[in-house]
Amino acid sequence: MVGAVYTTSGKSRRKVLEHSERLQLDDQNGLRVAIVADTHSQPHPRTAELLRAERPSAILHAGDIGDLGVLDQLAKIAPVIAVRGNIDERAPHLPDVVTIDVCAGEQSALRLLITHIAVYGAKLRADAAQLAARHSARIVVCGHSHVPFLGRDRGLTVFNPGSIGPRRMHLPIVFGMMEIVDAKLGFRHIDCETGHAWSP
């Protein structure tokens, strides 16, 4: 389902595209989803290899895609759900916000929200928290900062996969995995340069 709302900033009103998706738990009530962000047209050369090794059922892109051919390359690995970042003016058809229901049968077991900009440092921005509340989401996935992050704020789980694009300053080049195993939800980061798990 696609919809549009309008946000007001100063004297201007901006159309914000919103979209909803569903992901299905497998027969063992499990799910593996890769999460990437901030590719800026140049994903790390090992990205495809490492993503394939994780065998995700879907790939989420949290914005700042750059060249839209990046999405085509990711789609060769798994279906892609993407939001538009602040550099993605050439992608007016992409939504700014996507809500995803993780379903067991027809029932939603979990709802997450993806948007490009959602945190200020380690804190969830008020507008992102309000957006999550409006959509009854328990998890907010975002990009923009290039800083890999997993935390809780305002009663919500917040996950930033980091960036798999060109290095910014000293930050790592990483992507994220969201996994549901035995009804337990987990997140982790993978270092594109080493291929190993990454932690701060």
Domain coordinates of the chain in residue numbers?
19-198
What is the mean pLDDT of the segment spanning 104-109?
92
Q: Give the span between the Cα atoms of 114 and 27, in whole angstroms.
A: 25
- The answer to which of 39-43, 119-123, 173-177 has the lowest mean pLDDT is 119-123
Q: Which residue has the tokens 């080493």?
A: 194
Whether the predicted pLDDT of 4 surpasses 80: no
Average predicted confidence (pLDDT) for the chain: 92
Q: Give the span between the Cα atoms of 15 and 25, in whole angstroms.
A: 33
Give the sign of the dihedral formed by CA 147, CA 47, CA 69, CA 59.
Answer: negative
Whether the predicted pLDDT of 129 surpasses 90: yes
Top CATH class, 19-198 = alpha beta
Q: Which of 159, 189, 182, 178 is nearest to 26 (CA)?
A: 182
Q: How do beta strands 149-153 and 156-160 pair?
A: antiparallel
Amino acid identity, position 142: C
Q: Nearest 5°: phi and psi at 99?
A: -105, 140
Longest pairwise C-alpha distance within the chain: 51
What is the mean pLDDT of the segment spanning 119-126?
93
Q: Nearest 5°: phi and psi at 16?
A: -115, 120
The pTM of the whole model exceeds 0.75: yes
pLDDT of residue 14: 58
Quick check: 137 and 21 in contact, CB under 8 A? no
What is the mean pLDDT of the segment spanning 58-77?
98
Helix (H) / strand (E) containing 131: helix 126-134
What is the mean pLDDT of the segment spanning 128-143?
97
For 147, counting Cβ atoms within 10 Å of its Cβ (0-12 exposed, 13-18 middle, 19+ buried), the class is middle
